[in-house]
Amino acid sequence: QNINQRKTEAQRVVFEIVKLTEDTVDPGEWGKNFPRQYDGYTRTVDVERTRYGGSENIQHLDTRPVWRTIFNGYAFSIDYREERGHAYMLADQRETERVLRRAQPGACLHCHASVLKAYRDKGVEAGIAPDEAHRGDAIMKGFEVVCAMPYGEATKLVEHPVACIDCHAPDTLQLRVTRPGFINGIRALARSDYPIPHFASIERWRKGSRAEPYDPNTMASRQEMRSMACAQCHVEYHFAGEGKLLTYPWHKGLKAEQIEAYYDEVGWNDWVHADSGAPVLKAQHPEFELWSQGIHARAGVSCADCHMPYKREGAIKVSDHHIRSPVLNIARACQTCHPASDSELIARVETIQSRTRGLMDRAESAVLDLIRSIQSARAAGASDEQLKAARALQRKAQWRLDFISAENSMGFHADQEAARLLGESMDYARQGQVEAVKVGGSATITPPTVPQGAAGKPPGQAPPPK
C-alpha cells in the first residue's frame, strides 16, 4: 500500500553500491548509488520546444538570416544552432561546422566535456606532483596545456559530456566547482570593486585580509554554489594570448559595458567584420552575467532553483537532474515561490520575452543598416580615418545586441537590463549610421526583421490567463 511504502522511503539512506573516487568519470557508475539523479541526468536527451527556447537544434542562421551578415567573416556565420540538453554537448561540439571547417583549440573542451581527469593527467605529465596535495595544481597546469592543443587532438582525451564528478565531490557528493576558467574568473571578480550583493561570501572576503584568494569551494554558501556550479560554463569568455588560455572577462565587473571596457583595455577583438572592416566582439551565452543583473539573483534565487527544482519521488525530495527550460516544468520551477496558475506564469514569462524579442528585431535592423552603410561608404572610397567613428559605434552596438541575443533566456533572466542593452544598441547603431552617411554611406532604414521560422513567432501581448 502506498502510504506504507512512503513511510519506508522517508527513512531510506543511500546504499553505497559502488565506491566513487576522483577517477570515476562514468556517470553510469554514480547512477548505481543515485539512480534518481541519474535518471534525470539521462533525460537531457529529450527534445522539446517552448516559444523562445527548448531543445530543438534548429539553425538560427536560417530562421534569422540577418545574422549571416552580422557574423560575416566569423565562424558563427557558417553554423549557429539552438542549444539543447547536456547529453549532447560533446557531440554537438565535435560536429559543428565551426569545428569541422575552422581550426579550434583544446580550450573549447573546458565546457563541453568531463575534462577533470584529462586535465589532471596532463598536469602530472607536465611535471606536477601526482599526490593529493597537488591535485589542484595539476588540474590548473593541465588546463593550460589542453587549452593550447589543437581541438582534434584534445577531444580524444575525453569521452563524456559534463558528468556527476564535475559538479560533485565523489566522497561527500558535496556540490563543487572544478573549472579552472571559473576559478580564475571569480577570483578576478572578487578582486574588482564591482558590487555583488547576491554573493555575500565575496562581499565578506573583500572585507577580510585577502591573503588567500577567494575560493568558492570553501567560502561560498550552499545557495551560492547552486548558481556557481552553472556559472562554470554559462558565461562569456575569450581565449587570451598564444596559449589560447580560456579567460572570463570579469576584471571590471559583470555588466556588458564593464566587460566591453575590459576587452577595450586589453585590446581584444574577436574578428574584423568582413563587410564593414570594424573590429568586433562576439558574445557567448552570458546567462550568469545577465542573471546577475536581475531581481531573482538579487533575491537569492539560484539557477538550480528554476532549472533543477526539487521533485518529490515518494517521500524523498530530489533535485531534478533533467536540466531544461523551466517553462516545461512551471509547477515545480515557479509555483513554490509564485502562487499563480500555470497559464498565468507562462503569460508572465512570454510578456517579458516578447518585449525583448520585439526590441531585438529592431536592433538587428539597426545593426544591419549600419553595416550596409559603412560598407557602401567604404565602396564609395571613404578612408579608414573617416570610417573610424562609425566602426567604433558598430563594435558597441553589435556587442550589446549580441549579448542579449546570445544569452539564452530571451531577456527573462533580467528583463529591464536586457531592454536597456538593446536600447543602447539601437542608439549606437543609428548614431553610427549618421556618421557613415556623413562620409557617403547609404541611408537606408530597414524595418524590424520579420522572423522566418517558428522560433521567432511574431511578438505580441501575451494572452490573459484562463
Cell digits of residue 346 = 507562462
Count of residues engaged in binding ligand HEC, rule: CB under 6 A: 96
Q: By CB under 8 A, is residue 336 in contact with a second copy?
A: no
- Of the candidate spans 18-26, 283-291, 297-305, 364-372, the one that interacts with another protein by CB under 8 A turns out to be 297-305
Instruction: Name which position in 169, 261, 274, 328 contacts another protein (CB under 8 A).
Output: 169
Q: How many residues bind Ca ion (CB under 5 A)?
A: 4
Closest approach of another protein to the CB of residue 306, in Å: 11
Question: Which of a second copy, another protein, Ca ion, none lies near 102, with the C-beta cut-off 5 to 8 A by kind?
Answer: none
Pattern of binders to a second copy over 396-425, x per CB under 8 A? ---------------x---xxxxxx-xxx-
8-16, 120-128, 142-150, 419-427 -> range binding another protein (CB under 8 A): 8-16
Q: Which of residues 39-58 bind Ca ion (CB under 5 A)?
A: 53, 55
Cell of 383: 578612408
In this structure, are residues 145 and 84 in contact, taking their beta carbons and an 8 Å threshold? no
Site for a second copy in 153-172 (CB under 8 A): none
Say whether residue 332 binds another protein (CB under 8 A): yes
200 in contact with another protein (CB under 8 A) = yes
Alpha helices in 46-115 (DSSP H): 60-63, 66-70, 89-95, 97-100
Given 17, 126, 129, 316, the residue binding another protein (CB under 8 A): 316
Q: Is position 328 an interface residue for another protein (rule: CB under 8 A)?
A: no
Give the strand pairing for 310-313 and 279-280: unpaired
Q: Is 251 in the site for a second copy (CB under 8 A)?
A: no
Contact 46, 439 (CB under 8 A): no
- 186 scored as a contact of a second copy (CB under 8 A): no
Q: Which residues pair with 239 in a beta bridge?
A: 246
Q: Note the residue count of the chain.
A: 466
Within residues 183-212, the interface with ligand HEC by CB under 6 A covers: none
**What totals of helices (H) and strands (E) does the chain contain, helices first?**
23, 6
| Four-residue CA torsion sign, 234, 142, 224, 159 | positive
Residue nearer to ligand HEC on the CB measure, 190 or 382: 190
Residues 239-258 that bind ligand HEC (CB under 6 A): 246
User: Which residue lies nearer to another protein by CB, 220 or 436?
Assistant: 220
| Beta carbon nearer to a second copy, 416 or 452 | 416
Residue in the structure block whose three cell numbers are 596532463: 122
Write the DSSP symbol of residue 326: G
Nearer to another protein, 18 or 318 (CB): 318
Rule CB under 5 A: choose which of 83, 97, 137, 313 binds Ca ion.
83
From the list ligand HEC, another protein, a second copy, none, pick the one residue 111 interacts with, judged by a Cβ distance below 5 to 8 Å according to partner type: ligand HEC
Residue 201 Cα to chain centre, angstroms: 22
Mode of pairing for the β-strands spanning 279-280 and 245-247: unpaired
- List, in sequence order, every residue forming a beta bridge with 318; answer none if it has no partner: 311
Alpha helix (H) ranges present in 323-383? 330-334, 342-379
304: left (phi over 0), alpha (psi -120 to 50) or beta: alpha
As a dihedral over the C-alpha atoms of residue 356, residue 358, residue 361, residue 364, rounded to 10 degrees, the angle is -40
Please tell me the number of Cα atoms within 13 Å of 378 on its side-chain side: 18
- Specify the 3-state DSSP secondary structure of 59: strand
Q: What is the DSSP string of 108-128?
A: GGGGTS--HHHHHHHHHHTT-
Provide the minimum distance between the beta carbon of 344 and another protein in the complex, in angstroms, as a whole number.
Answer: 6
Interacting residues with Ca ion (CB under 5 A): 53, 55, 82-83
Interacting residues with another protein (CB under 8 A): 1-13, 36, 169, 172-175, 197-198, 200, 203, 216-223, 225, 298-301, 305, 310, 312, 315-319, 331-332, 335-341, 344, 465-466
